[in-house]
Amino acid sequence: MNPDSLEARDTQSVIHGLTNLKRHLELGPTVIERGHGVWVVDNHGREYIEAMSGLWCISLGYGEKRLAAVAAKQMEQLAYYPLISHKSHPQAIELAEKLLAIAPVPMSRVWFANSGSEANDCAVRLAWYYWNAVGKPQKKKLLAHLQSYHGNTIATASLSGVSYNHEGFNLPLPGFLHVACPHYYRGAQPGEAEAAYTQRLLADLEARILAEGADTIAAFFTEPIIAAGGVIVPPAGYLDGLQKLLKKHDILLVCDEVVTGFARTGEMFGATTMNIVPDMLVCAKALSSAYIPISALLINERVFQAIARHSDELGVFGLTMTYCGHPVASAVAREAIRIYEEEDFPARVRRLETPFLDGLRELKSHALVGDVRGKGLLAGVELVWNKGTREPFPRERKIGAICAAIAEKNGLILRAIGDTLALCPPLVISEAEIAELLKRLRTALDETAATLTVK
Ligand SMILES: Cc1ncc(COP(=O)(O)O)c(C=O)c1O
């Protein structure tokens, strides 16, 4: 690396998440300088299809001028104002009203934050506050799935069921519990039918709730589709059964729509696609198409009434962050939703789902591909050592990472989650671009296969 290059300067100055920090010193970064639509260009002029929307977020693609214009105008008009102490501004009000109007189930109020992590963290806080408010302060434990990802504050990293969030960080905190991930392809016993697998999981879950004591559990967090854990679509009947159990045992349900919100699965919210009726709903990322950080936590009337009463008893609702409902971010998010609605993005995704998912399913005939799963424009392609037995590659072979690196050389950016290749392209992708994405992916798989002997 030339010491004056951006690559070398990066290694001497920036810390990168989800990266081996030591290896980064030798490898350096891919430096992306600009983008248009689904394409990004690096500092050497190489073009890539950004098939991960950055980090599951830039749904409207790069270069959306309407969002840039709204941000500039709002910065000139009112660059900042806090939402504390009975103060407000039109942009937060308009965005909150819009979110309540398009929410997948009746919701009562909106709390704003700056990231998915913060909004989920606030949902944890509100769950505790709620149970304190209704006189059940012993209801404190939080449940989530293994392999789920809910963020990286101390509470949400604890809530997440991925080990890299915990290892080396003294997490999870006590009281954050994990139950089996509803992952039929990986979790089913040999010969076990999907319905039997689902019933087994639900029976185990109820046994766990009873063992912990339902009166000690505050809330269950779930993603409609478990994204960062490997794009896992829960089997039919699982989420229905889960919701019945939570109702029976009076446990709040928080739906984490940070990835699935705003048309990703072919409906405005993944809760509609997957039939979820939550007490709280968290969204971020595509809320502003990632043009500016903002997240939102929607709460239902039951939760709102209780916390409003409790804040009156305590004298104040003691939750705040400087940039909650930032006017520029709120204006950008409002405009993003305007675009999703005007151009009917849910219908667009439903239309594109067929060429996208069918094209990926055709890869099932490839020697490396064991499973293809997804909804809308969100998919996972799992690579396996033995397709017949579903035996994975030995972890140390890092086949997913190798394939992702080969894909990048072929102008396709995707993300390896273990040996699952995640795909989450901007929703503005065209059919021709989907065909190009699939072509580059097949080339990457062929070149990866050529480096090994597969059973
Ligand atoms: C489902 C889910 N929840 C929460 C988060 C955390 O969001 P953020 O990175 O904006 O804090 C993520 C991030 O990928 C996510 O995938």
pLDDT digits (tens, 9 = 90+) for 218-231: 999 999 999 999 99
Would residue 8 count as lying in a domain?
A: no
Which pLDDT value is given to residue 453?
Answer: 65
Would residue 371 count as lying in a domain?
A: yes
Confidence of residue 92 (pLDDT cuts 50, 70, 90): very high
What is the total count of domains within the chain? 2
Same domain, 167 and 193: yes
Would residue 258 count as lying in a domain?
A: yes
Average pLDDT, the chain: 97
Same domain, 59 and 180: no
Confidence of residue 255 (pLDDT cuts 50, 70, 90): very high
CATH (domain of 364):
3.90.1150.10
End-to-end CA distance of the chain: 38
Confidence of residue 267 (pLDDT cuts 50, 70, 90): very high
Pocket lining: 198 vs ligand 1, CB cutoff 6 Å: no
Query: Percent of the chain beyond pLDDT 70?
Result: 99
Same domain, 72 and 41: no
Pocket lining: 120 vs ligand 1, CB cutoff 6 Å: yes
Same domain, 193 and 245: yes
Q: Is the pLDDT of residue 36 over 60?
A: yes
C-alpha of residue 446 to centroid of ligand 1, in Å: 32
Same domain, 285 and 333: yes
**For the chain, how many residues are written?**
455
Residues 197-205, mean pLDDT to the nearest whole number = 98
Which residue among 55, 124, 149 is best mutated to probe the pocket of ligand 1, counting the most ligand atoms within 8 A of its Cβ?
149
Using the 3D structure, point to which of 292, 318, 342 is the last residue of a domain: 342
Same domain, 221 and 277: yes
Pocket lining: 114 vs ligand 1, CB cutoff 6 Å: no
Q: Are 57 and 448 in contact (CB under 8 A)?
A: no
Q: Is the pLDDT of residue 455 over 80?
A: no
Same domain, 218 and 300: yes
Which pLDDT value is given to residue 438?
Answer: 98
The atom of ligand 1 lying closest to the CA of 117 is: 11
Same domain, 127 and 146: yes
| Tens digits of residue pLDDT in 312-348 | 999 999 999 999 999 999 999 999 999 999 999 999 9
CATH (domain of 304):
3.40.640.10
Same domain, 243 and 291: yes
Which pLDDT value is given to residue 22?
Answer: 97
Query: Percent of the chain beyond pLDDT 90?
Result: 99
Which pLDDT value is given to residue 452?
Answer: 86
Residue 247 CA to residue 413 CA, distance in Å, equals 41
> 36: domain range?
31-63+345-450
Pocket lining: 227 vs ligand 1, CB cutoff 6 Å: yes
Would residue 25 count as lying in a domain?
A: no
Which residue among 58, 117, 226, 274 is best mutated to probe the pocket of ligand 1, counting the most ligand atoms within 8 A of its Cβ?
117
Residues 361-371, mean pLDDT to the nearest whole number = 97
Would residue 152 count as lying in a domain?
A: yes
Residue 437 CA to residue 429 CA, distance in Å, equals 10
Residue 130 CA to residue 108 CA, distance in Å, equals 15
Residue nearest to atom 13 of ligand 1 (CA): 151
C-alpha of residue 115 to centroid of ligand 1, in Å: 7
Same domain, 47 and 112: no
Parallel, antiparallel, or unpaired for β 176-179 and 32-36?
unpaired
Q: Name the strands in the sheet holding 280-283, side by side, starting at the edge strand that comes first in the sequence.
A: 109-113, 295-299, 280-283, 252-256, 217-222, 141-145, 176-179
Same domain, 385 and 405: yes
Same domain, 368 and 330: no
